[in-house]
Amino acid sequence: MTSVRADRDDELDGERLEPSAAEARPRLEGAEGHPHVVLLTGLSGGGKTAAAKLFEDLNYTVVDNLPGELLAGLAELVSSDPTRFAKVAVVLDVRAGDAESAYRSMRGALEGRGIRPQLFFLEASDEVLIRRFSETRHRHPLSEGRGIASAITMERRVLDPIRAEADVVVDTSDLSLRELRERIFARLGDLDPDRMAIQIITFGYKFGVPLEADLVFDTRFIRNPYYVPTLRDLSGLAEPVRDYVLHQPGADEFLRHVEDFLAFSIPAFEAEGKSRLTIAVGCTGGRHRSIVFGEELARWLRAHGDEPVEVFHRELERG
């Protein structure tokens, strides 16, 4: 199988990660009694196999690599027996041939029967994808007649229209299986078409900008708490670090400018039908300044809007 992080294969093999009842149960029911259907797609090597196993652990019926011609029949089967098929996850990718046509066929067939599917898109950086294919010795489905790097570029181009419509985009480049589970479970069942879900990701520039980011804000103009001995080993979640960052010149003005921009842009994004907005806030290492500002922006968004807001501090897991 294609692991989410190849360097953790031995650690993750055989691990079954069950959510708590409180974490999972409220999010697994389809709207108005309809089945909850997940369309799971993304780049080859992006972690779809690992994600599919997580859905199996949640008692989803998982269908993988079904020919595009059979997708309409699957939609009819699901809608005709909503008790048996209350939870279904369908893996769709370039193996279907014309991936976009297969996706639109499946989505159209489901929505024509009153079922609004939830689309998850998994991806990773080119460097990570190449490493995963090298370590697992798996063949990229588009690699015939071209190198792996060219195949990845082509696949990104082919899947870009699907990615643009995704409810959830997850960059698995640096995620363990447990972290992937948490990201998926946090968004599972979040299907309110009238509300755009907002995710804030804090990150360190030295580890790369998150691929799923729609907006990126750079906080490296603030003095770095890392160089203060008493603050170095703390994170931006600690009160001393928060006070140090927010009391520096320019911090309040920066927040006001970002808040004003979000107050303008979020209604515009929603008017365009965007279902998700990922805001990335970065600093050098991703453990101090970005976390402080990310938490402040999340607090402001929750106070001034009704969109669901989640925060993910990417670099805290690095130790």
Nearest to 4 by CA among 183, 159, 167: 183
Q: Which long-range contacts (CB under 8 A, 24 or more apart) does 99-105 make?
A: 99/41, 99/158, 99/159, 99/162, 100/158, 100/159, 100/161, 100/162, 101/68, 102/68, 102/71, 103/39, 103/41, 103/162, 105/68, 105/71, 105/72
Measured CA to CA, the distance from residue 86 to residue 59 in angstroms comes to 10
Mind listing the pLDDT tens digit for each residue in 258-317?
999 999 999 999 888 787 899 999 999 999 999 999 999 999 999 998 888 999 999 987
101 contacts: CB under 8 Å, gap ≥ 6: 68
Mind listing the pLDDT tens digit for each residue in 124-156?
999 999 999 988 888 899 988 888 999 999 999
Task: Report the SS3 class of residue 36.
Answer: strand
Please give the torsion angle defined by the CA atoms of residues 133, 134, 135 and 140, in that order, rounded to the nearest 10 degrees: 20
Q: Is the model's pLDDT at 187 over the cut of 90?
A: no
Measured CA to CA, the distance from residue 155 to residue 159 in angstroms comes to 6
| Predicted local distance difference test score (pLDDT) of residue 319 | 57
According to DSSP, the β-strands at 276-283 and 168-171 are unpaired
Class of the CATH domain delimited by 6-191: alpha beta
Mind listing the pLDDT tens digit for each residue in 51-103?
999 999 888 999 998 888 888 899 999 999 989 999 999 999 988 788 899 99
| Predicted local distance difference test score (pLDDT) of residue 303 | 94
Task: Report the SS3 class of residue 217.
Answer: strand
Q: Is the model's pLDDT at 2 over the cut of 50?
A: no
Q: Is the model's pLDDT at 7 over the cut of 80?
A: no
| Predicted local distance difference test score (pLDDT) of residue 193 | 59
Beta bridge partners of 313: 202
CATH 3.40.50.300 location in the chain: 6-191
